[in-house]
Amino acid sequence: MNGIHDMGGVHGYGPIDREEDEPVFHHAWEGKALALARVGLAGGHFNLDEFRHAMERIAPVQYLSISYYERWLEGTLMMLDAKGVVSAEEFQTRLDELSKSSGGGA
């Protein structure tokens, strides 16, 4: 698809932002997000090409706004829903439960 992910040669993104002594993960949830995607892949629930395509289908504005491992999480959720492993409704229900118990408004 001619998506936002196909970035080669695009202008306007500005300078390359680098970080000295960058950690492998900046937040604990990033490692978890990667691990859960690997679970979906290694468990045979979806393949790498399907997973990449799911991330490409994240709406362009969102694709650029969210961080790298958020894209992994959203791609994993899209694939697990599409394959009937974890439906979007089931996920939302669990998210609402956790949100209530943690006292936050998600």
User: In 3D, which of 30, 42, 46 has the Cα closest to residue 86?
Assistant: 46
Check residue 103 for interaction with another protein (CB under 8 A): no
Most distant CA pair in the chain: distance in Å? 47
Instruction: Using the structure block, give the residue that is written with the tokens 């040669």.
Output: 9
- DSSP H or E run through 76: helix 68-82
Q: How far is the CB of 42 from another protein (least distance, A)?
A: 6
Binding residues for another protein, rule: CB under 8 A, are 1-2, 5-11, 13-19, 22, 24-25, 27-29, 31-36, 38-39, 41-45, 47-50, 52-53, 55-56, 62, 64-68, 70, 73, 76-77, 80, 85-86, 90-91, 94-95, 98-99, 102, 104, 106
